[in-house]
């Protein structure tokens, strides 16, 4: 069993990314179960979505300490799920901060990205970070495809199960999002090879 957790802010494409990974798992001959762990799909709240990949999957829920790979589309959101990470987990996250408006009313501080990385290192050394948001904005003029970039980044850093090949992932992107935007999505996926 390989458990993936996608976290981010509602509206960033967390669920779509989870769907692409689950569909790729099926294309590779595995089974998969996917569910939102927490949050609303839109409207800027914290959002977490899990995918269990393997055979004979029973419970759809990932328990504490069972996540093998965390892909976080936003740095702070990686911190919220430390309890779910396995001691051997890999963490991939985007460094572009989306500051929650609560910091102004609660008078809390959004930690520096270096701090976030340091906290994660207490659990695992397998950490990869990138500024995908800026790169996607540069490539397409908006940030809608950040989820595709992060998938490419996770793939090129070899953090995904080996059955999920580049070909299978691209096929899954085409199947999940559709032919219409496939060329752009393929370009973004491949651009992530450069980090």
Chain residues binding other proteins by CB under 8 A are 9-11, 19, 22-23, 26, 31-36, 38-46, 56-61, 63-66, 76-77, 79-87, 96-106, 108-111, 122-123, 133, 137, 142-143, 175-176, 178
Q: What is the CA radius of gyration of the chain?
A: 16
Which one, 65 or 195, has the nearer CB to other proteins? Answer: 65
* Least distance between other proteins and beta carbon 110 (Å): 6
Which one, 156 or 168, has the nearer CB to other proteins? Answer: 168
Which of 184, 195, 121, 95 has the alpha carbon at shortest distance from 155? 195
Contact of 88 with 69, CB cutoff 8 Å:
no
Dihedral through CA 163, CA 70, CA 22, CA 166, nearest 10? -40
* Least distance between other proteins and beta carbon 103 (Å): 5
Indicate if the alpha-carbon torsion angle 34, 35, 39, 40 is positive or negative: positive
29: which 2 tokens?
Answer: 């001959």
* Least distance between other proteins and beta carbon 45 (Å): 4
Which one, 68 or 155, has the nearer CB to other proteins? Answer: 68
Which one, 95 or 175, has the nearer CB to other proteins? Answer: 175
**67-72 and 85-94 strand pairing:** parallel
């Amino acid at each position: 069993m390989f458990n993936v957790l996608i976290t981010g802010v509602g509206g960033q494409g967390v669920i779509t990314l989870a769907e692409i990974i689950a569909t790729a798992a099926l294309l590779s001959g595995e089974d998969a179960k996917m569910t939102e762990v927490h949050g609303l799909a839109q409207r800027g709240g914290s959002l977490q979505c899990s995918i269990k990949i393997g055979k004979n999957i029973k419970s759809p829920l990932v328990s504490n300490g069972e996540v093998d790979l965390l892909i976080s589309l936003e740095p702070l959101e990686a911190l919220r799920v430390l309890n779910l990470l396995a001691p051997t987990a890999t963490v991939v996250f985007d460094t572009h901060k989306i500051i929650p408006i609560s910091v102004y009313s609660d008078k809390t501080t959004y930690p520096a990205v270096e701090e976030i990385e340091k906290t994660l290192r207490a659990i695992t050394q397998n950490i990869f970070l990138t500024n995908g948001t800026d790169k996607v904005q540069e490539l397409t003029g908006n940030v809608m495809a950040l989820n595709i970039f992060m998938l490419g980044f996770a793939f090129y850093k070899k953090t995904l199960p080996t059955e999920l090949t580049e070909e299978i992932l691209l096929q899954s992107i085409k199947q999940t999002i559709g032919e219409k935007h496939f060329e752009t999505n393929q370009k973004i996926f491949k651009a992530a090879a450069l980090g």
